[in-house]
Structure 1
Amino acid sequence: MKDFENCSETVLIRRARRGDIQAFGVLYGRIYKELYRFALYTMRHKQDAEDVVSETVVAAYEGIDRLKKEESFRSWIFTILANQCKKRFLRKGETEELSDELIAEEPDHASDHDVREALMLLGEDDRLIVAWSVLGGYSSEEIGKILEMNPATVRSRKSRALEQMHRILEN
């Protein structure tokens, strides 16, 4: 793994496409925290977040040859993650109650339990939009491509979702 520490993402992707599992491991290591953080604030339970990240990594490794543009790796893997989250929601349904399992082990932007609860009260797509925008730093255009939405729709939904969270937190 030390051989790859200074390699660019592009070099790692090319090596991973040729079946180099160590190169893929380095790629995964560089993005794991972002994937997990996104999954944690998208899913309702810590275990579900870990599961969807694992499923995402397996799917990405198996499908890395279908990555069209090397510079799109991050948005590509986050698209896989979003799809895994959606599959998990469909399997489990949206009827589960909020749980204390939402408390993350590592501190981050949403370390306050109330913010997490407010985020979890949003609908699935709105939760994805807010998580990608606020936690992932993705633009409306990037989120729109991932969710197959118009960027203006993404911006308006984000605005409404943040207003809804604000109202929840005021009470």
Structure 2
Amino acid sequence: MKCDANTFAQMYETVYKDLYRFALCIMKNQHEAEDAVSEAVIAAYENVRKLRNADAFKSWMFTILSNICKKKLKNATKEALCSWEDTYESFSVEEKDIGLLVDIRRAFFVLEEEEQIVIGLSVFGGYNSKEIGKMLSLNSNTVRSKRRRALQKMECVLR
């Protein structure tokens, strides 16, 4: 797709709030979310010629952002696990729940990209299936099915 800076900016303006909310829900940190969105915008702008249909811009941006968040969380989890191994014994019972968070993130990353986006927007972002369907150009029933299957996958990993 041929796209100049102004066209890209116009398309980005329609999704930037949703991108930030999604990243914030996934990253749980304002600065990390902002960094992830910035990286996604740069990556998208550099590769916008690969986008074949302007109508798919929103879902394409969410896919890019999801991949960036996934990479950042994976790296952060690896770093955290290394430091936790040394100090885990001194944590209180409440602090040991961090392991549960790691397990949930691990289960989240088992999902395919589109499933991650649906779960992220639904569970973390609070969007309903109709809103998610509109964002991703999917039928709301399809969104509900994808959400249910994704949650089942996560449940299997967490058992």
The aligned counterpart of 1:108 is none
| CA separation of 1:23 and 1:68: change in aligned 2, threshold 3 A | closer
Q: 1:22-37 alignment to 2 at 5 Å?
A: 22-37=6-21
Q: Which 5+ residue runs of structure 1 have no aligned equivalent?
A: 1-13, 97-119, 143-150, 163-171
Root mean square deviation, CA, Å: 3.4
Shift of 1:22: 1.8
The aligned counterpart of 2:66 is 82
Q: Which 5+ residue runs of structure 2 have no aligned equivalent?
A: 81-99, 137-143
* Residue 65 (structure 1) aligned with residue 49 (structure 2): yes
| CA separation of 1:82 and 1:129: change in aligned 2, threshold 3 A | same
The two structures have a TM-score, normalised by structure 1, of: 0.54
For residue 28 of structure 2, give the secondary structure of its aligned residue in structure 1: coil
> For residues 50-102 of structure 1, what are the alpha-carbon distances to aligned partners after superposition, in whole Å with 9 as ceiling and x for unaligned?
00000000001011110122221111110000000011112211675xxxxxx
Corresponding letter in the other structure for 1:24: F
Query: How many residues were matched structurally?
Result: 116
* Identical positions, percent: 35
The two structures have a TM-score, normalised by structure 2, of: 0.58
d(CA) in 1 for partners of 2:117, 2:5: 30
RCO comparison, higher one (Cα < 8 Å, 6+): 2
Q: 1:1-171 alignment to 2 at 5 Å?
A: 17-18=2-3, 20-93=4-77, 121=101, 122-123=104-105, 124-125=108-109, 128-133=117-122, 135=125, 136=127, 137-139=131-133, 154-158=147-151
